[in-house]
Structure 1
Amino acid sequence: MDCKKYNAMEHYLHTINQRYIALSEEEEIRNNAILRVVVEPIIQKMREKDKLFKKLYKDMFFGGSYYDGLKIGSPNEYDLDLLLKFPPPCETEICNINEVDIYTSNKPGFVNLYLRNRNGFGNLCEFWQAYLDIPKLLSWMEGVIQKALNDFSEDRSWYIFQNLYSQKYYVKVYKQGPAFTLIIRGENLGQLVNLSIDLVPCFSFDYSRWPKNGFKPNPFSYNTDMSDFFVVPKYPKGVPNYGGRYWRLSFQKQERYLIHNKGRLKPALKLLKKMRDTMNSNQISSYYLKTVVLWDAEKQDPNFWLCNSLSYVFMYILKTYQKCLSEKKIPYFWNKKYNLLESVSGDLNNMSNRLKYIIDDIDRNVSQNPAVVLKYVLTPDEQKALFPEVPIEESSWCSLL
């Protein structure tokens, strides 16, 4: 690929990044303050209300696109992991009641957690065996959160929180998959507040428990801050029997470091996410797009991301992504036997064909019409607002739907 071929698009892509993708620093500061007003008191109440939660809870990890620097649009959605950790076993063999075995499962990318002694943790395990059970863990966590919220004032089913300046925020909670979503409404300095926070319970393990049998070793094992990993209560599709014992692994700390300080990588990936949203291809999660880039972050020389233009890097990862769709495969970065696309319900051939059409259209016309990329990354209203001087063209890929 000619590294200078797409330079004429550079102005347009940088402008899109600044206007529709870059986050408002003012909003970030305000929203982070609101998070503390709501989340910290809830965690404190959970510790007070439930002895088991107090025993297991260790810390909170700020995860997801926002804290990875990959969030696009308004910073109003956040992912917070509630890190649980089993107490270390006693030194004597008789007293190792809380030791957990991590078994790689027959489903690549997932593990089973087995308690050698379930005393004190029986309500989190399967009835017939000592495997930690996802539905039971989530049911227990739901009860703990509800007991904590019951201690706060309530107004028409909204729980009330106040900051030091007596500003009120109203909170509701919904259960969605492994997450407990806090919806926050209110007003701050005359501006309406509308936030969504996903609280996800996770078990944290240190480097000594790093999974083997097909899993990539920790590339940062020398760094103690990067030595631990998480196990998330999200089970795979298509496992009819004992599905609740299949836990998904999460290496968020390591992934964040892999894409850190990589020049054009993050801006290009955010443009790809914006294109996905404009095309309404929401069957492809942000994590799948991130995984496409993780493989290249590992193999490419760091200068690739630093020295090439944003337009070149964007087209490079767009073509890489299209190739993955055509092959119907995005291998999980930490265990390539697990194909992330196996659970996608949409027509992958159609998605691949649409992207191939877009790539060919840009390649044919970019030298004479560098604005050709706009109709694929922006909606017509966004293009009209940002580039009123550029005639709006119809996105011909719509005819492929």
Structure 2
Amino acid sequence: MNAGVNSLIHSLVCLDAAELIYFFEHLATAILEAIIMVNPATNRKNGRRKKVPKQIVAQPANAHPFSALRINGRNPVKHPFPLEETLAVSRGKINTIPALQQVLQTIRIDDDCKQDSKTIIHDLIKNNLIKIMKEKCEIFKKHYRDLAFVGSFYEGLKITDADEFDLNIVMKLPFGAHTPYEVCQVPKAPGHMSIKWDPKYLKKIEKSCSENIRPTFKWVDAQGYLLTNKILQYMESLVAKSVAEYNSELYEEDQISITKNGPALTLWHQSEDISVDLVPAFDFPARDCPPPPFKDPSMYCHPRKNMRWFIVPKPLKQHGLEIAWRLSFSEHEREILYDLGWVKPAIKIMKRIRDIMDWRTPDSYSLKTVALWLLDYGYLTPDDKLDFAFEKMARGLMYYLDKKKLPLFWDPRFNKFEDMNPADCKNKFNFLDKYLRSEKDIVELCELAAEDSEDEDDEFYD
């Protein structure tokens, strides 16, 4: 009982004022519905059922997370910058929708190609590589949970061939499910958190564990913090050995090569011309709230959907931050953007414009972050037609370029544009401003984006 109360208190502490209002309004709804189910007569007067007050009517089961969060016009999270009236979209006599649809036609991926690639990935990674990894390492066999399919392909945001995929190799936290640990902020690394065990307790349980599992105790430092570099070294070594065994039984043209890119190990299947980025990750259930000031991700999906969130070992430039783990809410983001009318097509058109202009920044996740903020603030909506959705996306990006600051959606302390050159921000702002002055200019931009390019490669962006 005490553990449940403590968990509830911790979750409530993570909420801001608007989210607390949302929580208690829906708590009132749940209590009212429970009373009705237990004794329907208590909700009747003169033979008629009382109406539930409008302000606490529960959202339907299929309601979109953003619409479910807006109660009487309130938004759950305050936007870091007030969206000004200068972002207003107007329409003249020229219909830009056909031109925008032409861009979408240019970046459409063949459905058969998608399915063939997914089948190859499933067979290569799940049926072969993971199986070999389990056979070669008792630690991996004990801690492996499953594969999480993440990235632009699985979100429906990829705009090039179905030849690049992102997979998280999800593992259980070491030292057993019942070993208590502490989750903490990392002040010098917004967007990250740390995990810490009691060193004395770890030494105690290390003596009783089997010999082949003891190497996991090297994954933490003297203070009990889980280290990103140790996990990356472990995974890199295991994957390399497993790929070597996989290749030993194949002809050269069917073999897999490995390269390293940040936290990801990139596997390239030569004969199929497909690459897969593998990233080790640990997952947490929806009931576990990440440390503040992170938003509670459960607020952005239906309570019946048990969405996980992840931590991944993304190396940081600063030394001494091996304890910092990047938080990832890929499942929540995919759910948020699911079935949102023309929102995802608008993001894809922006990605196409970026690639045609050979912009290395903003990256794909930054463009998605722009959309998440605009949706959360109510500026971009699922009811927008394609022309409005695209122009709002473009003007929203201009807004953040002008501010030279794009806060991470889940932790606004982290600026996605921190490394962007101010002059670069200004140039991209001016480019978009030039092509958003009239419908004629938008059509011209679409014609530019619809042009074919033999040298296109989305490898650096997705």
Task: Name the TM-score, length of structure 2 as normaliser.
Answer: 0.70
Match of 1:81 among 168, 180, 193: 168
Please state if 1:245 is matched with 2:323.
yes
Contiguous gaps of at least 5 residues in structure 2: 1-87, 207-213, 455-462
Mapping of 1:92-241 within 5 angstroms?
A: 96=178, 98-106=179-187, 107-116=189-198, 117-118=201-202, 119=206, 120=214, 121-126=216-221, 128-154=222-248, 169-186=254-271, 193-218=272-297, 219-220=299-300, 223-237=303-317, 239-240=318-319
Counterpart of 2:446 in structure 1 is: 374
SS of corresponding position for 2:224? coil
Counterpart of 1:305 in structure 2 is: 382
Q: Measure how far apart 1:225 and its partner are.
A: 3.4
**Deviation string for 1:249-286 (max 9, x for gaps)?**
00111111111111010000000011111122113211
Counterpart of 1:62 in structure 2 is: 149
Match of 1:350 among 424, 437, 440: 424
Alpha-carbon separation, structure 2, partners of 1:212 and 1:244: 18
Aligned-partner residue type, residue 266 of structure 1 = K
SS of corresponding position for 1:305? coil
1:327 and 1:112, CA in 2 relative to 1: closer, same or farther beyond 3 A? same
Any conservation in 2 of the 1:177–1:234 contact (CA below 8 Å)? yes
Q: Measure how far apart 1:89 and its partner are.
A: 5.0
Q: Measure how far apart 1:86 and its partner are.
A: 2.3
Q: Measure how far apart 1:115 and its partner are.
A: 2.7
Q: Measure how far apart 1:298 and its partner are.
A: 2.2
Contiguous gaps of at least 5 residues in structure 1: 91-95, 162-167, 187-192, 383-401
SS of corresponding position for 2:246? coil
SS of corresponding position for 1:235? coil
Counterpart of 1:189 in structure 2 is: none
- Structure whose CA Rg is larger: 2
Alpha-carbon separation, structure 1, partners of 2:93 and 2:349: 15
Q: Measure how far apart 1:381 and its partner are.
A: 5.2
Q: Measure how far apart 1:222 and its partner are.
A: 5.2
Percent pairwise identity: 26
Match of 2:368 among 274, 284, 290: 290
1:335 and 1:6, CA in 2 relative to 1: closer, same or farther beyond 3 A? farther
SS of corresponding position for 2:96? helix
Q: Measure how far apart 1:287 and its partner are.
A: 0.5
Alpha-carbon separation, structure 1, partners of 2:332 and 2:93: 32
**Deviation string for 1:54-106 (max 9, x for gaps)?**
1111010100000001000111100011111126857xxxxx5x433221110
Aligned-partner residue type, residue 86 of structure 1 = L
Please state if 1:15 is matched with 2:116.
no
Could you say what the CA RMSD is over the residues aligned between the two structures, in angstroms?
2.5
Q: Comparing both chains, which one has the higher relative contact order based on Cα–Cα distances under 8 Å and sequence gaps of 6 or more?
A: 2
Alpha-carbon separation, structure 1, partners of 2:366 and 2:267: 25
SS of corresponding position for 2:276? strand
Any conservation in 1 of the 2:267–2:275 contact (CA below 8 Å)? yes
Moved over 4 A (4+): 87-90, 378-382
Alpha-carbon separation, structure 1, partners of 2:300 and 2:376: 12
Alpha-carbon separation, structure 2, partners of 1:37 and 1:16: 33
Any conservation in 2 of the 1:104–1:211 contact (CA below 8 Å)? no
Any conservation in 1 of the 2:151–2:165 contact (CA below 8 Å)? yes
1:113 and 1:4, CA in 2 relative to 1: closer, same or farther beyond 3 A? same
Q: Measure how far apart 1:371 and its partner are.
A: 3.2
Task: Name the TM-score, length of structure 1 as normaliser.
Answer: 0.80
Aligned-partner residue type, residue 49 of structure 1 = K
**Deviation string for 1:339-393 (max 9, x for gaps)?**
1112x2x4233333333343234414x34x66311355245758xxxxxxxxxxx
Which is strand-richer, 1 or 2?
1
Give the length in aligned residue pairs.
351
Alpha-carbon separation, structure 1, partners of 2:379 and 2:416: 25
